[in-house]
């Protein structure tokens, strides 16, 4: 898809991290941007910052897990700009990562699925019919994670399961778009190749009361900074990928109509090969043994 000035991009989870970086990059390409996020103050700050840089911005507070709010987001986007050409279903939360998979509270699963899976589906259902009907070129980017889409991460099983679901959903979306001969493409994004400094580790700050935890959180790291300090204290190397680099990768992928937005990485490639080899050889998943489960 050719990205041109005047087109419109909608980004969820746009107040910080990858979402804000994508919105800023789209704006730099001349696109009008619709920002959606659950945090009002952060969203206002992000929108004001982009406007100060000359961007044409429409911002709306949205909980993507609530279908009606995403439908209202679509109405607002079309009312404001008359079209949508790029949709980035990027909003996500980290949930679980506290003990064994059978120890996670039901609300950990419910919250993660509502945002990470239902949020993507709500975005697809709210925007795709009109994007297809317009006959204009378009593209959908759904944000997954290497933790679920490349090799499942047992130490963050709830999050990993939801992100694996995003991969399959996007594969289905791609096939359906091709069957309809739509001018809309689809991609699944695996941010990386290293960790990113986003607010994912502090997702609990936005956890709604309807999915409140039944017992205190039991995670050893309350923030990314705590995790980084612990890793460095243990003598382990820590590397981060700038969100701006991911945004540039996304723009290049949209232009190339690339489905797998997966940065080159020896580590990721080795995990993919090990998982595929285990399946083809019908052997037990020994590649999971490298994860620390204690």
Check if the beta carbon of residue 63 is closer than 8 Å to that of residue 38: yes
Per-residue CA distances from 19 to 51, 157, 232 (Å): 16, 23, 28
Three-state DSSP at 178 gives: helix
Three-state DSSP at 145 gives: coil
Phi, psi of 127 (to 5 degrees): -110, -35
Query: What span, in angstroms and rounded, lies between the C-alpha atoms of 31 and 43?
Result: 18
Q: Beta strand pairing status for 32-37 and 57-61?
A: parallel
Query: What span, in angstroms and rounded, lies between the C-alpha atoms of 294 and 155?
Result: 9
CA angle, 140 as apex, 2 and 142 as ends, to 5°? 135
Identify the residue whose tokens are 């232009």: 255
Q: Is the dihedral of CA 214, 113, 238, 240 positive or negative?
A: negative
Catalytic one among 159, 174, 211, 221?
A: 159
What are the E-state strand segments in the chain?
8-12, 32-37, 57-61, 86-89, 138-143, 184-189, 260-261
Active site (annotated) includes residue 81: no
Q: Which residues are catalytic?
A: 159
């Amino acid at each position: 898809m050719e990205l041109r000035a005047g087109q419109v991009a909608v980004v969820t989870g746009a107040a910080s991290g990858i979402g804000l970086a994508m919105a800023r990059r789209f704006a730099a390409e001349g696109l009008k941007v619709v920002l959606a996020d659950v945090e009002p103050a952060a969203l206002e700050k992000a929108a004001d910052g982009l406007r100060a840089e000359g961007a044409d911005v429409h911002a709306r507070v949205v909980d993507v897990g609530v279908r009606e709010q995403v439908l209202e987001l679509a109405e607002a986007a079309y009312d404001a700009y008359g079209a949508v050409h790029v949709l980035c279903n990027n909003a996500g939360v980290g949930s679980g990562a506290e003990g064994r998979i059978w120890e996670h509270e039901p609300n950990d699963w419910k919250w993660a699925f509502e945002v990470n899976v239902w949020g993507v589906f709500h975005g697809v259902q709210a925007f795709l019919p009109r994007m297809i009907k317009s006959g204009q070129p378009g593209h959908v980017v759904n944000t997954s994670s290497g933790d679920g889409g490349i090799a499942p991460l047992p130490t963050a099983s709830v999050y990993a399961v939801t992100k694996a679901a995003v991969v399959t959903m996007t594969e289905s979306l791609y096939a359906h778009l091709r069957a309809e001969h739509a001018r809309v493409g689809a991609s699944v994004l695996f941010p990386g190749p290293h960790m990113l400094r986003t607010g994912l580790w502090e997702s609990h700050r936005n956890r709604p009361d309807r999915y409140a935890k039944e017992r205190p959180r039991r995670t050893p790291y309350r923030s990314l900074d705590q995790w980084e300090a612990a890793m460095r204290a243990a003598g382990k190397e820590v590397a981060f990928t700038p969100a701006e680099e991911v945004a540039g990768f996304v723009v290049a992928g949209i232009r190339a109509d690339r489905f797998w937005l997966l940065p080159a990485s020896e580590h990721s490639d080795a995990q993919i090969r090990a998982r595929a080899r285990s399946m083809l050889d019908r052997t037990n998943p020994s590649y999971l043994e490298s994860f620390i489960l204690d």
